[in-house]
Amino acid sequence: MEVGKLAKYLNQLEETRSRLKITEILAQLLRETREKDVDKVSYLLLGVLAPQYKGVVFNLAERMMINVLAKAYDQQPETIVKQYKELGDIGLVAQQYAHAKRSKMLVSELYDELLLIAKYEGEGSVERKIDRLAKLISQLDPLSVHFIARIPLGKLRLGFSDKTIIEALSWMETGDKSLRSDIEEAYNIRPDIGYVASLVKKYGAKQLSTKVTPQIGTPIVPMLAQRLKSPEDMIQKMGEVSIEPKFDGLRVVIHYQRGKPTKAFSRNMNEISDMFPELQKLDQQLDAKEVILDSEAIGFDPKTKRLFDFQMTMQRRRKHNIDQTSREIPLTFQVFDLLYKDGESTLQDEYFVRRKKLEDTVNPGKPLQIDESTVTSDPEVIRLKHLEYLKKGLEGVIVKKNNSQYVSGRTGWRWVKMKEIEDARGKLVDTVDCVIMGYTSGKGKRTSFGIGQFLVGVRKNDKFLTVSKVGTGLTDTQFRELAKRLRKLTTKQKPKEYEVHKDLEPDYWVFPEVVVELAADEITVSPKHTAGLALRFPRLIGFRDDKSPREATTLAEFNHLAKLALS
């Protein structure tokens, strides 16, 4: 496929707001794409060159991309800067100057060149990236460069995600979404949209279950807990359960292979191995050649042994002075599940079977510990355990259905959590993870911060619907940090994923990247917030840098939370 043809599809996608129509366009594109190119096309549709966990990024700042365009089109950087300030889109700026005729370059050639440029490292790598990218850009026609120029800055943003491509792959085969669950199940085990698209193209969606298995070094989309308010509801929906403590820590999935460096992944599938040097010394604790473990990392005070909260534990994610930080904030990894061992997937095993394999595999010590577990069918036991863990400074209980499989995401009543205390976190039974969509200029004291309130929303498929404006719960330092982060994400145009009432439009729009945890007193009906409901008296608990926008609270979860508050 030629780049020019791909660009025409990208143009259709950018101009389309209907999710169904976007899916149909994607299905047609994928249908026309050859098997050997479908992985590359799938990546480029999302403006990336590889799955997130591989960490392939350009690391080019806007000023560098301005130099690329200046070099490509023989312009002064100041001229490009002026145009960029006026248009607010590097793709539109490039389109103004592009003079090449229809691009006959192949998509495979474009992808290979972009990947080569992105992987430049070492002394002089920035200059080499600029030179080679300028040469590439100069060969593209106006429509093609409009989209390709955005990719090095991570700003292609056509208003859909990998989930939409998954649905489009089903449409490609059957003309409907009937195969979506088969494809999504494979993607959850191997979250690489290019790899999965290639398999669908080659074998068909129905064959994925025989082709996709867990692999050491490739993250698995983690399983998440639903919310239920009462132990009686839990037993009614789940039957016999295992009760385990809920820690306020950082989700870490550990990939161990004897004789090789241990890898660790966050819940949003970023590799974070370098931040946990203690995970490189697990040979004595693991009775396995290779294993994938699900865990929660919790920091503790080395003097008092008191557990730290999430925000303190998150300091271990700093990229500098790791050895010093690991001494100041030592970690224990509370292991609670086993997903793979010595060539065998355990995802389809029932929970009590996985638990037995976990206990047979992990020798508790430093840094790995196994969560304690209580098996019961009695609601009163859940209630007592919940209170016991709260008194110990934990977050209550996680309750797990004993005969449930490991299913990625937050689906069904397999794992549930119960949070019902009223404290500084608010009166809701749980907090809400929202995406920041925009912000207003500050007034009074906040003028110096550059931000007054920020608009937040929950997720509905690939859309974000508003639920509140937030201006409380932040320290001066947090206001300044937030302003700094949001300025880098500001865009002149409202992102097409956003549904916002005109009366709630902020002074500045931002791309959906920052996730915040909010508490509130209650959820009320709202005629203006596009979710149909709104948070009352919202306040910031913290930034959830461990979560991506696709892990934000969904509209369905938000509605469920509102019902729990009324029950």
The catalytic position among 40, 71, 129, 246 is 246
Whether 8 and 146 have beta carbons less than 8 Å apart is answered as no
Q: Tell me the sheet residues that pair with 458.
A: 465
Q: How many CA atoms lie within 13 A of 120 on its CB side?
A: 21
Nearest to 329 by CA among 306, 350, 365, 301: 301
Whether 140 and 100 have beta carbons less than 8 Å apart is answered as yes
Nearest to 30 by CA among 201, 177, 175: 201
- Amino acid code (one letter) for 486: L
Helix or strand run (H / E) with residue 358 = helix 351-361
Residues for the chain: how many in total? Answer: 567
Whether 363 and 383 have beta carbons less than 8 Å apart is answered as no
Nearest to 231 by CA among 458, 121, 386, 364: 386
Whether 222 and 369 have beta carbons less than 8 Å apart is answered as no
DSSP string, 264-277: EE-TT--B-GGG-G
Cα dihedral 431, 433, 438, 443 sign: positive
Please tell me the distance from the alpha carbon of residue 476 to that of residue 384, in angstroms, as a whole number: 40
Whether 282 and 252 have beta carbons less than 8 Å apart is answered as no
Whether 359 and 375 have beta carbons less than 8 Å apart is answered as no
Backbone φ and ψ of 369, nearest 5°: -125, 150
- Radius of gyration from C-alpha coordinates of the chain: 24
Say which DSSP state 362 is in.
B
Please tell me the distance from the alpha carbon of residue 50 to that of residue 111, in angstroms, as a whole number: 10
Structure tokens, 53: 């966990």
Please tell me the distance from the alpha carbon of residue 6 to that of residue 469, in angstroms, as a whole number: 39
List C-alpha distances in Å: 533 to 310, 459, 462, 530.
28, 13, 19, 8
Backbone φ and ψ of 162, nearest 5°: -60, -30
Whether 419 and 429 have beta carbons less than 8 Å apart is answered as yes
Structure tokens, 352: 């009590």
Structure tokens, 4: 């020019």
Say which DSSP state 45 is in.
H
Terminal-residue alpha carbon distance, the chain: 56
Question: Is 246 a catalytic site residue?
Answer: yes
Active site residues: 246
